[in-house]
Amino acid sequence: MTTYHLRVNGREHAVDSDPDTPLLYVLRNDLHLNGAKFGCGLGQCGACTVTLDGESVMSCLVPVSVVGSRPVGTVEGLGTAQAPGVLQQAFIAEQAAQCGYCIAGMMMRAQALLAKNPSPTDAEIRKHMMPNLCRCGTHMRILRAVRRAAGALGKQGAQA
Amino acid sequence: MSGDPQSPARRRLLAAGGSLTVLFAIRLAWAQDETPLDKGKLPGSLEKAPWLDAWIRIDADNRVTVFTGKAELGQGIKTALLQVAAEELQVAPGRIALVTADTARTPDEGYTAGSHSMQDSGTALRHAAAQVRTVLAGLAAQRFGIDAPALALQDGVLRAPDGRHVTYGELLAGRQLHLKADRTIPVRATAKHTVAGTSMQRVDIPAKVTGGVAYVQDLRLPGMVHGRVVRPPAPGARLLDVDTAAVARLPGVLKVVRDGRFLAVVADGEYRAVKAAAALARAARWDMPATLPAGASPAAVVRALPTQPNPILSRGSPRSDADSAGRTLAAHYTKPFQLHASIGPSCAIAQLAGGQYTVWTHSQGVYPLQGALAELLGADKATIRCIHTEGSGCYGHNAADDVAADAALLARALPGRPVRVQWMREDEHGWEPYGPAMLTAVRATLDTGGRIVDWQYDVWSPPHNTRPGNAGNLLAATHLERPFKPDTPTPSPQPEGSGDRNAIPYYVLPNARVTHQFQDSAPLRTSALRSLGAYCNVFSIESFMDELAHTAGVDPVAFRLRHLADPRAIDVVRRAAARFGWDAYKKTPRRGRGFAFARYKNLAAFCAVALEVEVARETGMVRITRAVAAVDCGEVVNPDGVRNQIEGGIVQSASWTLLERVRFDQRQVLTRDWAGYPILRFNQVPERLEVELIDRPGQPFLGTGEASQGPTAAAIANAVADACGLRLRDLPLDRARLRAGR
């Protein structure tokens, strides 16, 4: 066991972990953050997607020992059920979930896109979202939710 | 009638602690309705669970709790059931707590499957809630000395014209309405609905998009430990030896379990359990006999199985070619083994404490699972409680029950500790019960006027239902030193059927023979996958309808309409065609349109799908440019919820149809991850997808969850044929087949 200091959703956490433990397990079991999900452990489905230094990564493939001081973002950092953030509001407004198991990963991948490109085209969204799998077939709503969030962020930007 | 002092419901209320006041009040409440008591069946699941307080309980402080034996699978059933209850009780949905499938608390409604939840539980709750409202209004009227119709009711508060008011909770004062359901109590008129029939937002989504505790995977119980099972590498593999000692010494390992070829570890941390399981897998030596029909097509696989012919339709007289001046066509269609392929591998938590097992599970049937676990553990059913807790979408009988058995076995090995088990990806792909391979053969004769005068259809299929059932239907139980034997599957009767689900066309066919060639086994474990045989049967029938239309020289939509009699079926076909712009369609190079229709199970939702594809023969890539569905599912409780189900069904069916096939060699399943078994990604989902709902206020709820699976498959095949002249009859219509042209 080694102690790691992680910066997750803007807060510092000290966790004791085996160095090879993927970040996913630390987020879920040590920090009790439920958003990132175990889907395959192989980097093939995206259910575990979080942001690391602003880039979307599959947290099942990132050992906790390599995270260092880079900021980690999970869906919990976007808002709460009582005060949902822009992306969360968009997913709720579009009812963009069925079982919803993939959705937190979808949102974090979208978050990384919108942070860099606040007004992506439909083709850019589809291409960016490609690594993440959804089995319920909620894709059309996910695409609408990402477009809606982009629109809302655009308005916020215009007002700022 | 309504004042009958011998009414059983009134006697029971008295027995349950009612008073004379209560008795008198009920007479007043029922005086509104003079319909004679109907001795027929009670609506929906009330037939099985007739007591009102099994469904609805109201505390003294006016908190309402509604109970259902159905489970949320991501289909939005919680929300729709809340809407139904809120509408009839006239209580705001936000003030109602809903308790779903739990063997200690809710009615036994069997499995949450077959698009039955609204028909069974929605109907039951609607009638139970209407009766609760009516009885309570009667009590209030009695208290105020007025007639019940003079009362105003809002959010569980009954108000007299002079301003006096009383809540449901105050009327009951802690008692519950232990009354038997009465089917003659009227439900609210659909025209007055304010909650049912609206697109209320799903109650489960906020937690799912904010990282709340939304799934069994997210539960963290005090003292919880983590188990992982090491499955045999192949169905026929025999364990030669395993050195467990080294694994037992690994950091955090609490227990190594070996029972026959059931191997498992329990550790104090999840990733430690994962690593220990990998070490245990390396420490095991297996013998892997060649037991599988490697390289065999689905047709060859099912043809090799013992078959029981089961005629399910014999109408008119068979017509031979000689009788007909028209033409006879024949074709075969096939479907491979396919996966449920949940994104989240199956998970359960079990705890044995004080002689009682508690199992948190995403099983579709907590009561049947309770029975199977009792047999597996040699425990009394009363000592096992199964609580449904949502998991990743299952789309049928996936590994939910199996992982619950794993967790229960490990909980028994480590009494006191809650043991959480989640399968690894390769276990889910390798060991969940697959949707079976199927073969269909159809032969039909057209008369000179282009009408079908003879129809003969056979469907060969391994079992679509191996649910527990008995303990032997739980995977781990078959791997123990003293293994349990699986049930011998039997075909489900028509009209719902199993492999023969939707094998009887919904068309008017004067002479028709349909035979279900039932097979009670398969080389790989199989069970219920969303829509069961309907997916392959509708794919076959609706592909063949296009082939017949083509032969008859008739537009495929017009050809279907001339063989349909049910006005609701005709309506969905016309509406889908109109919304798509079928008649005005202009064909362009590489693109083509396809149409298909079915009424799910011939008794649930009507669904027609029209879509356009673009086919690149050189790469084999099929892209759906636009898809339109028209759906009639009776009275709609949540329009957006129905749209979500239909949209999802279309995309999932497109994935099955264009990509999916389990592959295996002589010894083992080869498709053990998403690289080996790809599913549809964002690049291949339709550019546009529209769902048109036909609401039928006052009509019974018709299950929707599986309605679009079959029509979508055939519409894609028909569109591919229209686009490039290639008629593909073997699923999936993948790139290799498109390139090869067969």
Could you tell me the two tokens for B321?
Answer: 């070619």
Which tens digits make up the pLDDT trace of B413-471? 999 999 999 999 999 999 999 999 999 999 999 999 999 999 999 999 999 999 998 99
Q: Which of A101, A107, A143 to mutate to test the interface with B (most CBs of B within 10 A)?
A: A101
Specify whether A62 is located in the same domain as A86.
no
Share of chain B above pLDDT 90, in %: 92
User: CB-based burial of residue B449 (10 Å sphere; 0-12 exposed, 13-18 middle, 19+ buried)?
Assistant: exposed
B222 in A contact zone (CB under 8 Å): no
Which tens digits make up the pLDDT trace of B508-518? 999 999 999 99
Q: For position B320, what pLDDT does the model report?
A: 61
- Give CA–CA dist A14/B573, Å, rounded: 61
Specify whether A151 is located in the same domain as A97.
yes
Specify whether A22 is located in the same domain as A58.
yes
Specify whether A47 is located in the same domain as A92.
no
CATH, residue A56: 3.10.20.30
Q: For position A156, what pLDDT does the model report?
A: 81
Whether the pLDDT of residue B29 is over 60: the answer is: no
Of B218, B425, B682, the CB nearest to A41: B425
Domains, chain B, with CATH or none: 8-202 (3.30.365.10), 217-288+344-431 (3.30.365.10), 298-337+434-464+499-740 (3.30.365.10)
Q: For position B318, what pLDDT does the model report?
A: 78
Q: For position B324, what pLDDT does the model report?
A: 56
CATH, residue A123: 1.10.150.120
Specify whether A126 is located in the same domain as A73.
no
Query: If pLDDT is split at 50, 70 and 90, which confidence band does B326 have?
Result: confident
Which tens digits make up the pLDDT trace of B599-647? 999 999 999 999 999 999 999 999 999 999 999 999 999 999 999 999 9
Which tens digits make up the pLDDT trace of B277-288? 999 999 999 999
Strands (E), B147-297: 152-154, 157-159, 165-167, 225-230, 238-242, 253-259, 262-267, 284-287
Query: If pLDDT is split at 50, 70 and 90, which confidence band does A155 have?
Result: confident
Q: Which of these three, A77, A101, A128, is where a domain ends?
A: A77
- Name the H helices within B321-441: 366-377, 400-413, 425-431
Of B210, B220, B647, the CB nearest to A81: B210
B209 in A contact zone (CB under 8 Å): yes
Q: Which residues contact B541 (CB under 8 A, 6 or more apart)?
A: B442, B457, B502, B503, B505, B598, B714
Q: For position B99, what pLDDT does the model report?
A: 98
The stretch B559-586 carries a mean pLDDT of: 98
- Give CA–CA dist B512/B496, Å, rounded: 19
Whether the pLDDT of residue B51 is over 90: the answer is: yes
For A18, the 3-state DSSP assignment is: coil
Specify whether A73 is located in the same domain as A86.
no
- Give CA–CA dist B542/B67, Å, rounded: 40
Which tens digits make up the pLDDT trace of A71-81? 999 999 999 99
Query: If pLDDT is split at 50, 70 and 90, which confidence band does B36 have?
Result: very low
Specify whether A121 is located in the same domain as A147.
yes
B683 in A contact zone (CB under 8 Å): yes
CB contact under 8 A, B207 and A33: no
> Structural domain tally of chain A?
2
Whether the pLDDT of residue B309 is over 90: the answer is: yes
The amino acid at A124 = E
Q: For position B22, what pLDDT does the model report?
A: 44
Query: If pLDDT is split at 50, 70 and 90, which confidence band does B321 have?
Result: low
Say which residue the tokens 């019940």 belong to: B148
CB-CB neighbours of A117 under 10 Å: 13
The stretch B266-271 carries a mean pLDDT of: 98
Specify whether A61 is located in the same domain as A85.
no
CB contact under 8 A, B393 and A98: yes
Q: For position A73, what pLDDT does the model report?
A: 98
Identify the weakest region by mean pLDDT among B30-39, B65-74, B270-279, B538-547.
B30-39
Specify whether A155 is located in the same domain as A134.
yes
Specify whether A84 is located in the same domain as A155.
yes
**Distance of residue A8 Cα from the nearest chain B Cα, in angstroms:** 14
Per-chain mean pLDDT for chain B? 93
Whether the pLDDT of residue B16 is over 60: the answer is: no
- Give CA–CA dist B375/B377, Å, rounded: 6
Which tens digits make up the pLDDT trace of B359-396? 999 999 999 999 999 999 999 999 999 999 999 999 99
Whether the pLDDT of residue B4 is over 60: the answer is: no
Q: Pick the residue with more confidence: B18 or B527?
A: B527
Specify whether A84 is located in the same domain as A154.
yes
With residue A91 as reference, give the H or E element that holds it: helix A86-93
Structural domain range at position A111: 78-159
B429 in A contact zone (CB under 8 Å): no
Specify whether A64 is located in the same domain as A136.
no
Which tens digits make up the pLDDT trace of A14-51? 999 999 999 999 999 999 999 999 999 999 999 999 99
Which tens digits make up the pLDDT trace of B710-728? 999 999 999 999 999 999 9
The stretch A121-143 carries a mean pLDDT of: 98
